[in-house]
Amino acid sequence: MPIGALSHDEINRIYGPWLERTPADIAELLAEYSGRWWIAGGWSIEAFTGVKRHHNDLDPSIPREELPLLRRHLAGRIDLWAADQETLRVLLPGDVGEDRLPNSCENVWARSSGGDPWEYDIILMSVTEDRWVFKHDSRITRPVDEIVWTLDGIDYLRPEIQLLHKARGLRAKDQEDFDAAWPVLDINDQRWLRDAIELTQPDHPWLATM
C-alpha cells in the first residue's frame, strides 16, 4: 500500500510522529533559500479562506528540478527522505545532484535526525520551462509564476489548483476545504477549476455543485 494511502494514525505508528509546524516555521527555515517554494495542502486553503481547521502536517512545495538546490540549503541541519510509494529512503548528503528520484516519487519528508519527529512533507511539483504541469494530466498547465499568491510575505499555491489536486482524493478534509474555498473563489478561478475537473474527472461529484 502506498504511503499516501495510509491514515495519519497509521503513518505515525509505522514511521513515527510529526511535529506541528506552521507556515512561519518553514519561512524561517528557508529565509536565505535562493530557490522557489510555496505552501501547498490544507494550509494554502486556510490562508485563502481564513477558515481554520486541524492540519496533520505542513506541505511546502518546490519544483522537482530544484530538489538538489534545496538539499544543499538544508545540508547539515535537516535530513531528507524520499517517500516513494511503499518505500521511505534517506537522501544521503554526498549524492546531491546525482541521485535522481523516479517520477513516481512525489514527496520528500524532512526531519532533523533519525531520532526526531518528522517536520515537513515537501511536495515535488512538475515544472517544465517555467510552466507548472498537472501531474495527472499534462493538458492542464499554467505559467509557474501564476500558480501562487502571497500573504504576509509567504507564497501559497493558488486555491483552485490545490482543489484540483484534492479532487482526486476526496477525503473528508478535502471536502471541507472545497466547501470553504469554492464560494469565495473569483468567478474566473471557479471556471478554471470546473473546466479542469470536467476534463480530468467528468463524473466528479463536485461538478453538481459548481
The percent of residues above 70 in pLDDT, for the chain, comes to 93
**What average pLDDT does the segment 16-37 reach?**
95
pLDDT band, residue 4 (cuts 50/70/90): low
Closest C-alpha to 158, from 171, 175, 146, 140: 146
Q: Are 64 and 125 in contact (CB under 8 A)?
A: yes
* Lowest-pLDDT range of 6-10, 37-41, 137-141, 159-163: 6-10
- E strands present in 13-157: 38-40, 59-63, 79-84, 87-91, 107-111, 120-125, 127-128, 131-133, 141-143, 148-151, 154-157
Residue 153 phi, psi dihedral angles, 5° rounding? 80, 5
**For 98-143, how does the pLDDT look when each residue is reduced to its tens digit (9 = 90+)?**
567 888 899 999 999 989 999 999 999 999 888 999 999 999 999 9
pLDDT for residue 1 is more than 60? no
At residue 163, the pLDDT reads 98
**For 74-109, how does the pLDDT look when each residue is reduced to its tens digit (9 = 90+)?**
999 999 999 987 788 999 876 766 567 888 899 999
At residue 16, the pLDDT reads 80
Average pLDDT of the chain?
92
